[in-house]
Amino acid sequence: MPQSTLGEAPAPARPGAYRRLFTHPGTRAFTAGNLIARLPMGMFGVSAVVMIAGSRGSYALAGAVTATGLAATGLAGPWVARLVDRYGQARVAVPATVTAVLGSLALLLCVRLGAPDWTLFAAYAATATTPNIGGMSRARWAHLLRTDPEALHTANAFEQAADELCYMLGPVLASFLTGTFFPEAGTLAGAALLLTGVLLFAAQRSTEPPPKARTKAASPLRAPGIPPLLACFVATGAVFGSMEVVTLAYADARGHRSAAGVVLALQAAGSCAAGLLYGARRPGGPAERRLPWCLLAMAALMSLPLLAARTAGTLVALAAALLAAGMATAPTMVTAMALVQDRTPGDRLNEGMSLVVTALLTGVGCGSAAGGWAAERTGPAAAFAVPVAAAGTALLIFGAASGVRRSRRIA
């Protein structure tokens, strides 16, 4: 969004902002490993659903297994991140990844050999030890660019764009592999990519932040300003989860369910492009002042799919609306993540960013449930009001928290 809305002078683009990031020794290598390891994050869920549903004939079972995996990831993620902060990325990420890969292979074997249903839940829950590779990459940038806030802003935008790109390409790659070769191909390829990427990432020791001795600093959950930010991330996750389910329901109701993936990919594409543009511009003021405007833009743009569904009623119009709506997502996430980095104790940075992932996953689950309920009770077109409400809730939460913080400073 234009920086002039923040009451600042327009922030001009910085030519070569991204190119300058990679002049630091070792950044290209750890970024390559990071991208390879992050791609499977968008593959595993789709691959598991295709593999389980194809073998057991039950999408309900497949959905329950993947939901269990998400819940386990939300619980295990902060614990793994706490170990990363204390002992270092390489020492923790590699064994954690090996455990997760073994869990994926165990799931594959259980499906292939016809093991009891409970073994599927146990095997997929083991994949929850997958380290937050995006958080570790952001921690490296924060370590390397700690004296250059503008470059760190660009790095955070790059990481968010990478998230969008991997979550956009991952399901497409998984669908191609499972449909072209055999149902287990997506899981096998995802496990191989994850292990390869993490090994390459961990091998770049020169850019790894040094482990920090545990201090008496409060847990990120108790750090000032972090709880309301996590609540904002829950609401933002609800935007993502509800939009996905409602879009699938809307496309299915019009006999175009197979096109839903392409339509949702346009939302991610819009977010990716906006994130890169946002990162190439100088930040107009502190993150705490920029975030309300980003949240406001997200709430406003999320109304476009609702408007398109209720008026135009075509998938083409919805696709255009989702492309535009996605453009507010990455700037919001980049700014909120910068605020998390500012407010999290330095020796708990990975833990703080892992809590963000937990909050997002919680929101995605709640949003998916709310979106599905609304699509069945009110119809898919009207159900697009759910992501609008979720985005508005994020804005209200942050606005109320900011008001409380200001009143405390005055008092």
Separation of first and last alpha carbons in the chain = 33
Place of tokens 């946002």: 278
According to the per-residue pLDDT averaged within each range, which of 88-102, 234-248, 337-351 is highest? 88-102
8 A C-beta contact, residue 66 and residue 192? no
Give this prediction's pTM.
0.77
Which pLDDT score is estimated for 168? 75
Confidence of residue 3 (pLDDT cuts 50, 70, 90): very low
Q: What is the mean pLDDT of residues 150-166?
A: 87
**DSSP structural state of residue 178:** H
Give 10's pLDDT tier (boundaries 50, 70, 90). very low
350 burial level (CB within 10 Å; 0-12, 13-18, 19+): buried
Residue type, 7: G
Helix (H) or strand (E) holding 408: helix 385-410
Query: Is 392 within 8 Å of 239 (Cβ atoms)?
Result: no
| pLDDT beyond 70 at 218 | no
Position 175, amino acid: S
Q: Angle 395-364-78 (CA atoms, 0-180°, nearest 5)?
A: 95
Residues ≥6 apart with Cβ < 8 Å to 182 = none
Tally: H helices and E strands in the chain: 18, 0
- Measured CA to CA, the distance from residue 208 to residue 21 in angstroms comes to 16
Q: Once rounded to an integer, what is the mean pLDDT over residues 95-122?
A: 95
Confidence of residue 110 (pLDDT cuts 50, 70, 90): very high
Chain centroid to Cα 234, Å, comes to 12
d(CA 149, CA 138): 13
> Which candidate, 362, 333, 349, 363, places its Cα nearest to that of 74?
362
- Structure confidence by residue, pLDDT tens digits, 231-289: 999 999 889 888 888 887 888 788 776 677 778 788 888 888 888 888 888 777 788 88
Q: How far apart are CA 411 and CA 408, in angstroms?
A: 5
What pLDDT, on a 0 to 100 scale, did the predictor assign at position 264? 78
Taking the C-alpha atoms of residue 409 and residue 411, their distance in angstroms, rounded to an integer, is 5
Nearest-angstrom CA–CA distance, 66 and 44: 9
Q: Which two tokens stand for residue 58?
A: 């039950």
How far is it, in rounded angstroms, from Cα 373 to Cα 214? 45
Cα of 371 vs its chain's centroid, Å = 19
- The reported pLDDT for the residue numbered 106 is 96
How far is residue 167's CA from residue 183's CA, in Å, rounded to a whole number? 20
Task: Report, as an integer, the average pLDDT of 303-324.
Answer: 90
User: Tokens in use for 259?
Assistant: 């096109």
Q: What is the pLDDT of residue 8?
A: 42
Q: Across residues 42-58, what is the average pLDDT?
A: 83
- Burial class for 123, CB neighbours closer than 10 Å (0-12, 13-18, 19+): buried
- For residues 341 and 75, the answer to whether their CB atoms sit within 8 Å is no
What does the DSSP 8-state code read for residue 35?
Answer: H
**Structural contact between residues 374 and 243, judged by C-beta atoms closer than 8 angstroms:** no
Are 211 and 87 in contact by the 8 Å Cβ rule? The answer is yes
**Average pLDDT for residues 18-26, to the nearest whole number?**
88
Domains of the chain, first to last:
26-211 (1.20.1250.20), 217-411 (1.20.1250.20)
- Across the range 358-376, mean pLDDT stands at 83
* Contact yes or no for 165/267 (Cβ under 8 A): no
CA gyration radius for the chain? 21
